[in-house]
Chains A and B, each alone.
Chain A
Amino acid sequence: MKRLLSILLCFVSLSVFANEPANEPSEAEGFNPGEMILEHIGDSHEWHLATLGAGEHATHITLPLPIIAYQPGKGLNVFSGSQLAHGHSHNGLKLEEDKLVAEDGSKVYDFSITKNTASLLFSAALMLLVFTAVARGYQKNQGRAPKGLQSFFEPIIIFIRDEIAKKNIGPKYERYMPYLLTAFFFIWFNNLLGLMPGAANLSGNIAVTLVLAVLTLIITLASSNKNYWAHIFATPGVPKPLLPIMIVVEFLGIFTKPFSLMIRLFANITAGHIVVLSFISLVFIFKSWAVAPVTLAFGLFINILELLVAILQAFIFTLLTAMYIGGAVEEHHDADYQIGGGDGANQAHAHAH
């Protein structure tokens, strides 16, 4: 754990420096921190690593990414993103402010491997690699104490199983374990990867959190029992005249819960990136190395905080998902009347974050 932390700390301090050269050209033509930050937290059709030199003679070191476009009537179009660099057009397609558009103005569905998609593929591969290695560890060390990677992830897996799944879902927790574990590690891994220098802001992208939240919603609805719907359309303990209002509130609750999941993860991660980048921008705003210590200190502090937020947000997302599922599969209990079922607790959590 200690070694892992020190490695992560290395990346943290690296990212502070790594971001600096990339901003130099903008400095020449008047530095715009808002633009720079939005560019960093947004998606892109190329993976910009660094810029050498300044102004007209600047050399941009970028990783070209494949463009995959679908146009109704024209079919699928796949080519390298380098064809579109510097405003060039290819096959009637061009990039306008990093948005793929057709020159003739027709509709284009953009399925390109963007910076975020590439990062997504990388994290998926990393997760498969790491967790199949962990699984192999169990095969190899059968009947013995866990070792290496296995012993690092085992307490986390057990924590998710015992503290998140078992406590919130109850006896039917086992079938939800794969989703909870995958969601937790996907969010955690991508939060950490997002903190690396030059990395994509994947888990802070609203499309990603949207998909995760919708999956949680689908799983919740798919596993809901009679009791769950009774709770929504005939909330126990509510006077009859209030029921119409309660039904609307509870029904909206079905959607506001995953919506809050989507917004919370997106906002937390994106906000963290914005704060770190803002501190780095101070150097270019003041155009003085004198602010570097302040920038460095605060940037480092926020980055370390982000390490905490990375696992915290993964935990919160998984915990709330487990709570929503738990509320959907819960059998009827008298205790519901006292504590208001899972919903009340969930709502309280949602406000807390």
Chain B
Amino acid sequence: MPAFLNPELGLIFWQLVIFLLVLFLLAKFAWRPILLSLKEREDTIDNALRMADQAKIEMQQLKAGNEKLLADARHERDRMMQEATVMANQHREVEKARATEEANRIIVQAREAIQQEKNAALAEVKNTAAQLSLDIAERILRRELSDPAAQTQLVDSYLKDVKLN
């Protein structure tokens, strides 16, 4: 068997001792801190990604909430406007009715006043006419009552007239 196929005791010994020593030292001073740091970093990245996702979801929720709020507000505004229109219409109707009523009332009053004025005017016209007739009659009478017969005749006719009235 060639020499290189024959494991030497000395090298086996040194390899075992040195390899185990390196294994121990590296495990303690290199692999442990390295693997821990890697794990820590991966956890940090994982957390950050998860948090970003969460923030995204929250943002979406917030946006949806905002939109709902906006829609609500719009709806409310529409409702209010509609209400206002209805109320204004109502108000206008009421006002119109009242105005019409007032106008009617004024018209009625005016009519009454006109009637009264007309009556008064008519009465005055009647009185004036009567006065005038009397004056005329007096003047005529003054001239014609020289005759007593005629006087009596006239009185009689007057009396007749009065009865007719």
Contact = CB atoms under 8 A, between A and B. Distances in A.
B50 to A, nearest CB: 17
A250 B30 CA distance: 37
A182 B2 contact: no
Contacts of A132: 29-30
A329 interface: no
Given A128-B22, A178-B23, A182-B23, A138 B11 contact: no
Nearest to B44: A143
A205 B14 CA distance: 13
Contact of A205 (B2, B9, B11, B27): B11
A340 to B, nearest CB: 32
A182 B35 CA distance: 13
B26 A128 contact: yes
Contacts of A154: 38
Interface string B12-44: 111110110111011101111111011001001
Contacts of A161: 35, 38
Main secondary structure on chain B at its contact with chain A?
Answer: helix
Main secondary structure on chain A at its contact with chain B?
Answer: helix
Contacts, number: 115
A221 interface: no
A316 B22 CA distance: 21
B164 interface: no
Contacts of A110: 8-10
Interface stretch (A74-82, A116-124, A281-289): A116-124
The residue in A112, A134, A211 that gathers the most chain B C-beta atoms within 10 A of its C-beta is A211
The residue in A143, A177, A206, A207 that gathers the most chain B C-beta atoms within 10 A of its C-beta is A207
Size bracket, chain B contacts: 20 to 34
Interface in A168-204: 174, 177-179, 181-182, 186
B149 to A, nearest CB: 153
Nearest to A125: B22
Contacts of A42: 3-4
A211 B18 CA distance: 11
Interface string A102-143: 000000011111101100110010011001101100110011
Contacts of A212: 15, 19
Contact of A158 (B11, B18, B30, B38): B38
A87 B142 CA distance: 204
Given A207-B15, A210-B12, A41 B4 contact: yes
A80 B38 CA distance: 46
B140 interface: no
Interface of B: 2-16, 18-19, 21-23, 25-27, 29-35, 37-38, 41, 44
5 contacts: A112-B10, A120-B15, A182-B19, A182-B27, A206-B7
Interface of A: 38, 41-43, 68, 109-114, 116-117, 120-121, 124, 127-128, 131-132, 134-135, 138-139, 142-143, 154, 157-158, 161, 174, 177-179, 181-182, 186, 205-208, 210-212, 215, 270
